[in-house]
Amino acid sequence: MEQTLRQLREESLAAIREAGALDALEALRVKYLGKKGELTAVLKQMGKLSAEERPVMGQLANQIREELTAAIETGRQTLAEKALEARLAAEATDVTMPGKPVRIGHQHPLNKVIREAKEIFIGMGFTIAEGPEVELSSYNFDRLNTGEGHPARDRQDTFYFDDNDEVLLRTQTSPVQVHVMETQPLPIRVISPGRVYRKDEVDATHSPMFHQIEGLVVDEGITFADLKGTLNELVHRLYGPETRTRFRPHHFPFTEPSCEVDIECFECHGKGCRVCKGEGWIELLGAGMVHPKVLEGCGIDTAKYSGFAFGVGAERMAMFRFGISDLRLMFENDDRFLAQF
Ligand code: PHE
């Protein structure tokens, strides 16, 4: 029996040393040490031995069992280390390889001009005011001297939320004028950029949602000359000092006198072309001296104070600024378009 045991030890240790994978090691463990394993089979023969031989063989068998167990454990560790090394080698990062470029976004052309305009006005001492896009019709209309029956209040032109026509999506940023006059101390010098909504069909120059920048100045001794100077400054800073402006008489219920301001066509410089439809001028904004009824409605003493207001279409501002011919391009989010700015 001793012979058998020693042979088994030689053979099994050699096999364990040769094993090249974890499952092969496990198979060897079962083969030699398992319930039906070879060592176990030898041990079952112990009963046939003499009383002197039995403890000697028992000790030898136990020793072999321990050796095999230890050899298998060592084999396992070696294989695991090798596997880890192989993985590290395979997954090694070459830090000298050029990286994958990350695409960096930039501002939308619309936000670009709005930001430019903010900078220009902040430089002139204005602050930024905000107002709600969901507005009461009293702010959007009544308090801007736009009473019942005015065509701007028509359901064809405006998005209402309720049957009483009391809550709507603001059609202009002008209601912010009223919010500011109600809450801020005089003198006032604010601009307020934001979204406005009208029931318009989408085409090259119309959209049911667009942006305006409202402006409001109220102080002692404000005249139309202040309005002209401020808006000329805006145009010259945005479009260059040589750009000419034209102030045309117009009507708005909340300003008196009122005007529309055109700038010389950026395409033909006044000669008349396709962009300006032969006019030589393109309309940029509406403006005027704040109507006394509007000031008084906000508790401002018109004997002492006067003011001017204006509302610029931000999309138009961007279209002129960057030579964009179609308003829809601003909202389509086509990367080939946006990447150009
Ligand atoms: N709210 C006017 C519009 O949407 C523009 C405007 C603003 C006119 C302020 C005068 C004063 O057309």
Distance 240 CA to ligand 1 centre (A): 24
Residue nearest ligand 1's atom 10 by CA: 287
Q: What spacing in Å lies between the alpha carbon of 66 and ligand 1's midpoint?
A: 95
Q: What lines the ligand 1 site, CB under 6 Å?
A: 172, 174, 252, 255, 258, 286-288, 309-311
Ligand 1 atom at shortest distance from the alpha carbon of 290 = 11
Which pLDDT score is estimated for 184? 97
> How far apart (Å, rounded) are the C-alpha atoms in residues 341 and 323?
11
- DSSP reduced 3-state for 252: strand
Mutation probe of ligand 1 site: the residue of 158, 170, 172 with most atoms within 8 A of C-beta: 172
At residue 214, the pLDDT reads: 98
| The pLDDT value given to residue 36 | 86
The tens digit of pLDDT for each residue in 262-304 reads: 999 877 888 988 878 899 998 999 999 999 999 999 999 999 9
d(CA 9, CA 32): 9
Q: What's the pLDDT at 103? A: 87
Atom of ligand 1 nearest to the CA of 258: 10
CA 286 – ligand 1 centroid, Å: 5
What 3-state DSSP class applies to 190?
Answer: strand
Tokens 């979204």 identify what position?
195
Give residues with Cβ within 8 angstroms of 47, minimum separation 6.
none
pLDDT at position 220 is 98
Helix-strand-coil percent breakdown of the chain, rounded to 5? 45, 20, 35
Low-confidence ranges of the chain (pLDDT < 50): none
pLDDT for residue 297: 97
Buried b (16+ CB within 10 A) or exposed e, 212-240: bbbbbbbeeebeeebbbebbbebbbbbbe
